[in-house]
Amino acid sequence: MKIVTKTARFSSPLYLESGRILEPYEIAYETYGELNEDKSNVVLVCHALSGSHHAAGLYESDRKAGWWDGLIGDDKAIDTKKYFVVCTNVIGSCFGSTGPMSGMYPSEEPYRLKFPVVTIKDMIRAQMQLLSSLGIYHLRAIIGGSMGGMQALQFAVDYPNLADNIISLAATYATRPWTIAFNKVAVEAIRKDPRFKNGNYDKNAFKKEGLDGLAIGRIAGHISYLSPASMDEKFGRNYVSNDGLFELFGRYEVERYLEYNTANFARMFDPLSYLYIVKAINTFNLSRGYDSLYDAISRIKSRMHLISFSTDYLFFPEEMEHIYKMMERNGQSCSYLEVKSEYGHDAFLVELEKFDESIREILK
């Protein structure tokens, strides 16, 4: 599989939903496989909150492959022998695309809290610019899970002629207060952390020791990505402290897992980017800009494929089913699969074997 990692720079403004503009801006992206002559073999992959454009393959220095490596590659469900796969880092993120810690042109001073709020609509508008710059005007498919699934849905509504197929996993039509509440833990924990300094932290401040507030917020994130049953299976009531059960700060295995993973995460993710991306998730509402959800959904011309996970506690299966039912009543092309899983929301990253075949079928 041929992998190319690049950053594209755009000097024309990106008009944002807020009315503000981003200018100039950069989009980091990766491609897998090769573009065919008539550019008819493109699949766009969209990433989730903490993801990046590194969706597949292994960098030399890395221990872990891209976040959907099990799905993207030669002879895999998204077959890079056939398809040219593109994945971009969303604007607002911290892995190469323009975000709050990028320089505010022409100065090199980072935007920080002056960065404009970006939405899911803005994220896909930026991706449209990238695709145009590559001379790509039609896609075989757009696929993504969680916030990536939101992007896929928004593409379907905003650009009805763009893609043959839309595959949205573990997402929703509008973020519910339940999810906003989970995100609120991170928002408050980051804002109230004295080291956050109201966004004026040193750029390298958290490389050695991550921001506590982000790690704390991420604990709430992990809860929402898992499920009660997956935690039973993974951790049970195992206790891992040498000091015994009656030490106040003695830890259950689930606590050790949360501490370890969230501390790592806080070292590699930028707190301002986290706030901005969480805001994009909170404000996601397919019907915004249209008369109603029905009006938005009615615009869709692509074949829609919705995949939910039975124990997803962040975006519940009913939410995807709601879109499916609306499209079905409306006579639009739509399939819906509820994957039986104990893995919770994270199933879209973990239990690939349970929907791998469906993706192959769709792309055939």
Q: Which residues contact 123 (CB under 8 A, 6 or more apart)?
A: 90, 91, 92, 151, 280
Q: Which of 13, 103, 160, 228 binds a second copy (CB under 8 A)?
A: 228
Identity of the residue, 135 or 194, whose beta carbon is nearer to a second copy in the bound complex? 194
| Cβ atoms of residues 35 and 90 within 8 Å | no
Output the smallest distance, CB 245 to a second copy, in A. 6
Q: Is 51 helix (H, G, I), strand (E, B) or coil?
A: coil
Output the smallest distance, CB 23 to a second copy, in A. 17
Q: Which residues contact 171 (CB under 8 A, 6 or more apart)?
A: 144, 145, 146, 147, 148, 149, 150, 152, 153, 315, 319, 320
Question: Measured between alpha carbons, how far is 359 from 305 in angstroms, rounded to an integer?
Answer: 9
Q: Which of 233, 229, 226 is nearest to 253 (CA)?
A: 233
Question: Measured between alpha carbons, how far is 131 from 39 in angstroms, rounded to an integer?
Answer: 11
Question: Measured between alpha carbons, how far is 73 from 60 in angstroms, rounded to an integer?
Answer: 17
Q: Which of 6, 39, 82, 184 binds a second copy (CB under 8 A)?
A: 184
Please provide residue 86's backbone torsions phi and psi, each rounded to the nearest 5 degrees. Answer: -120, 135
Output the smallest distance, CB 300 to a second copy, in A. 22
Which of the residues 146, 273, 302, 308 is marked catalytic?
Answer: 146
Q: Which of 278, 346, 359, 285 is nearest to 312 (CA)?
A: 346
Window 241-270: residues binding a second copy (CB under 8 A): 245-249, 252-255, 258-259
Window 270-299: residues binding a second copy (CB under 8 A): 275-276, 279, 282-283, 285
DSSP structure string for 257-277: HHHHHHHHHHHHS-HHHHHHH
Output the smallest distance, CB 93 to a second copy, in A. 15
335 assigned to active site: no
- Residue 45 has, within 13 A of its CA and on its CB side, a CA count of 28
Output the smallest distance, CB 274 to a second copy, in A. 12
Q: Which of 78, 143, 169, 185 binds a second copy (CB under 8 A)?
A: 185
Please provide residue 355's backbone torsions phi and psi, each rounded to the nearest 5 degrees. Answer: -135, 5
312 assigned to active site: yes
Output the smallest distance, CB 86 to a second copy, in A. 28
222 assigned to active site: no
Single-letter amino acid code for the residue at 85: V
Q: Which of 104, 174, 326, 350 binds a second copy (CB under 8 A)?
A: 174
Window 90-129: residues binding a second copy (CB under 8 A): 113, 116-117, 119
Identity of the residue, 33 or 116, whose beta carbon is nearer to a second copy in the bound complex? 116
Q: Is there binding between residue 222 and a second copy (CB under 8 A)?
A: yes
Window 20-79: residues binding a second copy (CB under 8 A): 20
Q: Which of 359, 361, 360 is nearest to 144 (CA)?
A: 359
Residue written as token pair 């454009």 = 53
Output the smallest distance, CB 142 to a second copy, in A. 25
Identity of the residue, 151 or 285, whose beta carbon is nearer to a second copy in the bound complex? 285
Q: Which of 26, 30, 212, 346 binds a second copy (CB under 8 A)?
A: 212
Kindly list the residues in this chain that would bind a second copy in the complex (CB under 8 A): 17-20, 113, 116-117, 119, 174-178, 180-182, 184-185, 187-189, 191-192, 194, 212, 215-216, 219-220, 222-223, 226-228, 231-232, 234-237, 245-249, 252-255, 258-259, 275-276, 279, 282-283, 285, 313, 316
Supply the residues annotated as catalytic.
146, 312, 345
